[in-house]
Structure 1
C-alpha cells in the first residue's frame, strides 16, 4: 500500500449542498410568512410583540416583500457559515490522523494512537497510555469512519474499552491528581454556560494531568489514564 495514500471522511457533498441552499430558502420563507401575517397579528389585542408586527405591517410594498426575503435569506446564509465552521473532516493516513474543523487542523501521529471508536456523536482517538488524544463531535457516518481507519490498519473498537472505569465527578472528589478538581469545577461552569470552546481547552488541560473526562447532559465523568493511575 502506498505510504502516502490517505482516506478522507467528510459530510457528503449532497448534504452540504442541501444545507447551503436550504437554509437561505427556509429563512426567506419564514420571514416572508411572518411579513404576510404581520397586519393580522398587529390587530390582535392579546398578541405579544405587537410593536414589531405593527412596524413590519407599516412598511409599504414592494419593500416589505423584498426586505423580508432578503433578510431571511441573509439569516440563512449566516447559519450556513456557522454549519461550515462546525463541520468536521477526518483524513486518515498510514502515518497518522488529521482532524479539520473551522479551518483549523489537529494532527496525531500513528504511533500515539492505540484505537478508535465512536461514542454517540463523537469520534474518539485513544492514546497508548489509555488516555484520549481527541474527542470530536461530528455528523460523520460511523460506517465510513470505521472503513477509513481499518483500511489504514488502525484498531477499530465497537465501544469505549474503559467505559466501566469512569466515575461521576463532584466537587472535592478524592483520588484526583493535584489541580484536577479545580479544573473540573471551572469546566462544569463552562458546560453550564454552553462554552464548548473553553470546555474543550480544559479537557486538554486535564489530559495533561492524566485525567480523561467526558460529559453526559453537562454532568462530568472522569477516569485516570494508565500513566497517572
Structure 2
C-alpha cells in the first residue's frame, strides 16, 4: 500500500489555467493602468516602458499584447509542472520525484518555506524539493506510515550565523563557507549546492536565511 501525493483537482486547474488567465487579465488592465500613471505627472521609473504600454489601444495591439502575456503564463505553467514533484509514500521508502529515500534512512522531514526537507541519520540534507501536494496532505501521509514528520527543523536551535571574521570554525570549513557565500550572492545554485555537499563531508550543515549563511555541526541520530 502506498499514497501518491499530487495536485488536488482544484490546484491542478489553478496551476494549469491560472497563469494564462492572469496574463489575459493583465493584457486588459496594463494599458489602462499605464495611462492612469502617466496622467499623474509624477516621476516614474522606466517611464519610457510605461509610455509604450499606455499607447496600446488598437484591437490588433491588444491582441498581440494578450498573446504574449498568455504565452508567458503558459510557460509558467510548464515550469511549475516540471519543478513541483509528485511524492509517493509507503512503509518502506519515500519517492520525491526521481529521488528515492529508504524509510530507515530518514531521521526527520519538515516543511521549510515552499520546500519539503528530508534529513538522514547524520542530519545531512538527503533531499529538498517543492511538492505538488499541500503541507497538510504531506504531514498526514508521512505520519500515516510512521515517518518522523516535524513541523519545523528539529536542529534549528543549533544554527549559528556565519561570519568571515569568526575563528570558531576549522579553516577548511570557513573557506568553503566563504566560497559558498560568493556563490549564493551570484545566485549560482548549482555551485552553492556542491559546496553544501562539501560542507556536509566536513561534518557541517548550512542553510540560507535572508541572504546570510547559518551553520551547525552534523548530529548523528
CA distance in structure 2 between the partners assigned to 1:41 and 1:226 by the alignment: 56
Q: 1:46 to 1:199 in 2, by over 3 A?
A: same
**Alignment match of 2:84 (pick from 82, 87, 96):** 87
For residues 107-118 of structure 1, the aligned pairs below 5 Å read: 107-118=100-111
Q: 1:181 to 1:11 in 2, by over 3 A?
A: farther
The residue that corresponds to 1:143 in the other structure is 136
**Alignment match of 2:73 (pick from 72, 76, 79):** 76
Deviations 1:106-160 (A, max 9, x none): 2222232123223444322221223332233457433212221122222223433
How many residues in Structure 1 have an aligned counterpart in Structure 2?
A: 219
Say whether the 8 Å CA contact 2:28–2:62 is kept in structure 1: yes
The residue that corresponds to 1:19 in the other structure is 15
Q: 1:221 to 1:67 in 2, by over 3 A?
A: same
The residue that corresponds to 1:126 in the other structure is 119
For residues 157-168 of structure 1, the aligned pairs below 5 Å read: 157-168=150-161
CA distance in structure 2 between the partners assigned to 1:197 and 1:99 by the alignment: 19
1:95 Cα deviation from its structure 2 partner? 2.2
1:67 Cα deviation from its structure 2 partner? 0.8
CA distance in structure 2 between the partners assigned to 1:118 and 1:50 by the alignment: 41
Find out whether 1:212 has 2:209 as its counterpart. Answer: no
Find out whether 1:96 has 2:93 as its counterpart. Answer: yes
- Say which SS state the counterpart of residue 214 (structure 1) adopts: strand
CA distance in structure 2 between the partners assigned to 1:67 and 1:40 by the alignment: 21
TM-score by length of 2: 0.79
TM-score by length of 1: 0.77
Unaligned runs of 5+ residues in structure 1 are none
1:182 Cα deviation from its structure 2 partner? 2.2
1:39 Cα deviation from its structure 2 partner? 6.9
Higher relative contact order, chain-length normalized (CA < 8 Å, sep 6+): 2
